Structure 1
Amino acid sequence: MLDPPFKATQMHPNVWNVVEDDRFSEKPIMYIIFAKEFIVLIDTGVNTASYLDYLLTTDRIPDKRLKSNSFLVINTHNHYDHIGGNYQFSPKGAEKHEKCMDLCAGGANQCYTLNFPETTLSATVGAHSHAYTITRWLNDGDVITLDPEDPAEILKVLHLPGHTPDSIGLYYPKDNLFFAGDFVYPHSSILLNLPHSNFNHYVESLYMLLQFLKAQLFEKIRICCGHIDYDLPASDLVELWALVENVMQKSAECKNKMVFGMPCHVYSSDKFELLVNGALVKNIEKLLIKVASKFERTRRISSNSTTSSD
């Protein structure tokens, strides 16, 4: 009998990651968080083999709660290498699996997310993604309580459009972790050249994410990426922001590359690489002003709320 194409690694007492060895060499990283009364599954991979069966039968994760507790499935975005196993938990046109509490996705652009299978990109690589049913939409700022008795045992939802319109991140203050999906990862191209990607939105999301994380324990936070690295220092985002600024100011060197018949630009720093389509930012000053003013409004609202509560 062949070994399952999953490799599980414990990161913290209640947090694991699972890497899938798939035929597309995506090697998506999925995450498991053991909450008090249920289990959070962040992404479900490519579907090389049944992720659900693996979780219910594996002895690589020696925790009996896998068999007894229900699963809360959360997609960081709807690309095929992150939603491939969704149908096992919540199949289209059928009841949810008895072990599935909900299948969740970011609600910023539901039409995009539900445009299956076009926006999953499965057709571009010859993958087959089974249809599924989202049973819960997550809003920006939503808080998922993992343990009512511990205020740090939460997941806070952040909408991070850019790579896709429905991309989200999840902040887990208990272990100073941020689950980022494909919003960021090192040493490989962050894809902003796709049909539904948006470089301007990515810049705004990165700026707001940096401000959010800096308001937390920034130097202690580790970013759990959807590929390559599950232990990226949040402080590395400063380097990514510097690269983005250089791109916007047209001071970054780039290499030209044809991807799916479309001209793209590749911009690199020591750790990060951006793959952007040929139609780059045309009005740099306007974008910078928009990003800065958006954060300033958020800061003033927060400041006024604090003053009122005092």
Structure 2
Amino acid sequence: MIPTRAPTTEGVALAARKVAEILPAPPLLPLEVEGRTIWCKAECLQPVGAFKIRGAWHRLTALTQAERTAGVVGVSSGNHAQGVAWAARRLGVKAAIVMPVDAPEVKLANTRALGAEVVLYDRPGGEDRDEVAERLCKEREATLVHAYADPWIIEGQGSTGTEIAAQMAVLAGGPPELIVAPCGGGGLTAGLALACPNARIVPVEPEGWDDVCRSLAAGRIERVLPDAPATACDALQTPATRPINFAILQERCPFGVAVSAAEVRAAQRLAFAKLRLVVEPGGAAGLAAVLAGKITLSERSAVVLSGGNTDARAFVRVLSTAD
């Protein structure tokens, strides 16, 4: 069900052109950390609050007419869901999104508001989301739009790096040497690696959900452990990366970093105080690693902040409670 072609740098360039035709580039904002300026890519300001809109647009615009007529099925805790729903509505394509019953209510509501059908699955009860999606695809003869293990999705997310490179050339005097990004299944980080081949790419995951970190260290794909703790970083709760992603990550990412819940909250508070941005827990993971001193900064360093879909009450608690 998942396309087997490899994502390419040419595909990233095509995706970047397609995205630029319909969306303005989110700003690259300076932030002083440890006496250095890091550049924060505010993907939380996208129409759906996350970079996921990029891959969804690149994927759905590549569908044949027959595939558009049959519709698409996506799997997501919320950000990819909204990206697919947004693109589907704009293109007149039917979309069904398999989402966990414990997804943040704001993400469920936003996905429905964009016109997509939401099909819930019991993540806490151990139900397999991929099995649910596969069943729907067979029943409806629909196309699966995977959240990260899809060449078009990887290329579309890579357009983030294309924009970062162009913006830093103007603002920082040269292309990025380091890009730090939140990581779930590895769609964004793999795309960044293709877009910016001369930059170090560092994926960041929440503690206990650091399967990509462990996979890079082991040299083979490792799954999230069965006793993985609860995490506020719902966007980064993927069970394992896939070969299409890992082949790129293994070549380009020397290591990954895990961050604690307290480090994530500190990053959310700082992004709000210094950058005036609302960033959800998963979207703040990359910044959390930088602020915690877990990554050695380069002369030209960038951090991806994505997404910005968080329940208001949860965000208020983060801002009002000091760790």
Compute the TM-score of the two structures, normalised by the length of structure 1.
Answer: 0.37
Higher share of residues assigned strand = 1
Higher share of residues assigned helix = 2
Highest RCO, 1 vs 2 (Cα 8 Å, sep ≥ 6) = 2
